[in-house]
Structure 1
Amino acid sequence: MSDSFHGLRSHMKTMKERMKASGAALVVMKDNRVVEEWYDGFHHDRTGARSIDASSRFNVYSVRVTYIALAAAICIEEGSIRLQDPLNDYFPGVQGEATVQHLLTRCTGLKWTDGMAEVVAPPGTVLEGKRPDLVAAVIQKATGQTVREILHERLINPMGWTHTGWMGAAAENLVCDVSPLGYPTIRLGADDGTDRNLFVNARELADWGNLHVNAGMKDGKRILPEKVIRQVTTPVHRSGQPSFGYFWWLKEGQSRHPQDELGATLQDGSFQIFGASGCACLVIPEYRAFAVRLFNSLYEGYDYLADIRGFGDEVMKALHTVEQFNQERRLMSRGGNE
């Protein structure tokens, strides 16, 4: 078989240079096995930096919101939170009709300033920024547990992950963020799941995506209820707005919102999340596939939407080639047995 992933690696190399990242990682899984794994560069852009390898842990920034949303979905499935709970139940003084579901699908109609909420639109009508901090607060008020405690108990420990966690102290395998305007940095914070300091290596992030492909199963073992996975990836439709699950961008049809991050050639039912450092997770259920890429750049001087859409399209090209090869091999096998 020819190198199916040459184009995807070329895209990764081009974007690494364009966004001025010092390091990159790529893992693609299909049918529960790794079909591509690639690492390039260094932990930062100064002399003496460690090389990127399979143990390197990147700050995934907004990718973390899907972990927080999953914690919320677990609580909803277990009955401690209801989707239609008014936000006023958790944040006294909040006006309007916004619910937990509006919060998870980015359409509360609220503008928060210094901890105070102002109604600026009817709920369900306007796309707004992600507020995982508010979701984490809802979870803690409803359960008495932090996001970290819930995820370690229900997900991280059962999956056997040792390179996934909110980091409050530096470690050798943490990749620095780089920027053309400053020194390399590592963003640390509280380890309770509320801050932008979730560090993950490429293999465990791929495992995270593959858990969604398999509806909560790993190696024949039930890790999470199927309902929880379906819940976070079921679209909520709003007129004139892109399709979202719980923070995941969802692909439905060929219509495109100007802010849509999904490549044009992706299959319907695909879903994706993108983080500020250039990292992304892309799930393509129809191909039983998942792709994760990691970068460490906080540079903003490039067209990130064209980049992330291009990434999805390159993933699809590679997977299509793999599918063609597998079909040809199956046909040859049948011919040899006749």
Structure 2
Amino acid sequence: MLNKPYEALNDYVYKVQQEIGATAAAVYLIQNNVVVNEWYSGRHGADDTYRAVDAQTRFNVASIRKTYLGLAVSLLLEDGRIYSIDDEIGQYLAAYSGIAEGVTLRHLLTHTHGITESEGGLIREFEPGLGWAYRNTGIRMLTGLVARLTGQTVSSFLQERVFNPYGLRESGWETEYADELIYNYYDDPYSWAGAHDSNAGDQSNLFVSARDLARWGQLHLHKGLLNGRQPLPASVFERVTALHTPDTVPWGEPRNGFIWWLQHDTPLNQLGEHLPVGSYLILGITGCVCIVVPEFDAVVVRMYNQLSNPEGYHYLDEIRTFANLAADLLRAGT
């Protein structure tokens, strides 16, 4: 479905698709519970033997998966299996009680824990709550936390508690090729996509369609309400998109909810400055992004199968340009 007011957004996405060498792209916008723009471009691979991108196409969303982990943590808080996000991770996983002393779940969820990997071990970059650094170390700790407290994998826990109740049938961690998956790049040993031999939810192999990712954003926008049903309490969703970055983190660093990036005036911010206060987003290295704009009752999704950054291409600048254009078009239509 091509909506004339959003043709400029689709044209922009197509232009960048050519610049970065992505073979596939999609745009999906929901506003006021109506799909106002749905657009697909390209094929699953580099030549015409590959499947054309369509509504069933599922992209590897890379780090967007981390918001699914964030929701799992919120569910554990709702269940009472976690007392507080200010509990230290060592209270739940004794293996981290030494190096991660003083590191709380809040620090892990907001990239402010200060733990990184070096020569096969863990070291401190900075004291918890005094800086910000995007590291997968904290994500692995949270993944272990969910497994420890549920006795399930992250993927099975989310399937049972979220995907099934909300009908997210085009979302899941996949380990084998299927026709609807953009799976052509895993033979490349240098692929950004990373390992894909586990369906436990502990790797960057979450495949999601553009419309299911838009539904994911919409669930957060409407606090879990879907077609008059409330399978999960509103508080589960309110919690993950509220500000949780410690006040001790310097103001120039990004602000996060449970992984989600929140609108904030900083050079590292991934939201364009045209997006209103209260907006939030998540993105992955493959070029996929989900933006939630409560002021416009809107969700904006952009998908690529991006595998490299060409010379002169600036990842954060491009994300902000896309977000600003989407915000301008939404504002013009409201």
What is the TM-score of this pair, normalised by structure 2? 0.90
Structure 2 match to 1:312: 323
Shift of 1:182: 8.7
In 2, the alpha carbon distance for the partners of 1:93 and 1:83 equals 19
> Is 1:207–2:219 an aligned residue pair?
no
Q: Is the 8 A contact 1:130 1:247 kept in 2?
A: no
Whether the aligned pair in 2 keeps the contact of 1:282 and 1:290 (CA below 8 Å) is yes
CA change 1:77–1:184 in 2 (3 A) is: closer
Aligned-pair CA distance for 1:106: 0.5
Higher radius of gyration, 1 or 2: 1
Contact 2:192–2:286 (CA under 8 A) maintained in structure 1: no
CA distance in 1, matches of 2:165, 2:260: 23
* Aligned equivalent of 1:225: 233
Q: Which residue of 1 aligns with 2:258?
A: 246
Match of 1:259 among 268, 273, 294: 268
Superimposed CA distance per residue, residues 102-144 of structure 1 (whole angstroms, 9 cap, x where no aligned partner): 0011011212336633223111121112432221101111222
SS at match of 1:222: coil
Give the secondary structure class of the aligned counterpart of 1:244: coil
Q: What's the counterpart of residue 165 of structure 2?
A: 158
How far apart are 1:177 and its partner, in Å? 5.4
Q: Paired residue for 2:297?
A: 288
TM superposition shift of 1:218 = 0.5
Give, in angstroms, the shift of residue 285 of structure 1.
Answer: 0.6
Comparing 18-27 with 239-248, greater Cα deviation is found at 239-248
> Which residue of structure 2 lines up, in the alignment, with residue 51 of structure 1?
52
User: Given residue 300 of structure 2, which amino acid in structure 1 is its aligned partner?
Assistant: A
Alignment RMSD: 2.1
Cα deviation digits, residues 194-253 of structure 1 (max 9, x gap): 11100000111111011111011111100321111111111124323221111111014x
Residue among 90, 99, 118 paired with 1:94: 99
**Pairing 1:32–2:43 present:** no
Query: Is the 8 Å Cα contact of residues 70 and 232 (structure 1) preserved in structure 2?
Result: yes
SS at match of 2:219: helix
Distance 1:292 1:267 in 2: 17
Label 1:120 to 1:84 Cα distance change in 2 as closer, same or farther (>3 A): same
Paired with 1:115 and 1:145, the residues of 2 have a C-alpha distance of 27
1:5: how far off? 0.5
4+ residue runs of structure 1 moved beyond 4 angstroms? 181-187
Work out whether residues 58 and 296 of structure 1, in 8 Å CA contact, stay in contact via their aligned partners in 2. Answer: yes
Select the residue among 152, 170, 173 that pairs with 2:177. 170
SS in 1 for 2:126: coil
- The residue number in structure 2 matching 1:111 is 116
Corresponding residue for 1:17? 18
Report sequence identity in percent: 33
Counterpart Cα distance in 2 of 1:185 and 1:136: 20
Q: Which residue of 2 aligns with 1:329?
A: none
Change (3 A) 1:54 1:264: same
CA distance in 1, matches of 2:121, 2:90: 12
Q: Structure 2: which amino acid aligns with 1:134?
A: M
Q: Provide the secondary structure at the position in 1 that maps to 2:12.
A: helix
Distance (whole Å) between structure 1 residues aligned to residue 200 and residue 290 of structure 2: 22
Q: Does 1:129 align with 2:138?
A: no
Deviation of the 1:43 alpha carbon: 0.3
Distance 1:71 1:188 in 2: 21
Give the residue type in structure 2 aligned to 1:311.
F
Which runs of 5 or more residues in structure 1 are unaligned?
324-338
What TM-score does the superposition give when structure 1 sets the normalisation length? 0.89
Check whether the contact 2:263–2:269 (CA below 8 A) recurs between aligned residues: no
Task: Tell me which amino acid in the other structure corresponds to 2:280.
Answer: F
Q: Gapped runs of 5+ residues in structure 2?
A: none
Question: Is contact 1:60–1:279 with CA below 8 Å preserved after alignment?
Answer: yes
Number of aligned residue pairs: give it: 318
Take 1:95 and 1:168, find their aligned partners in 2: how far apart are those partners?
32
Aligned AA for 2:87?
D
How far apart, in 1, do the equivalents of 2:320 and 2:55 lie? 25
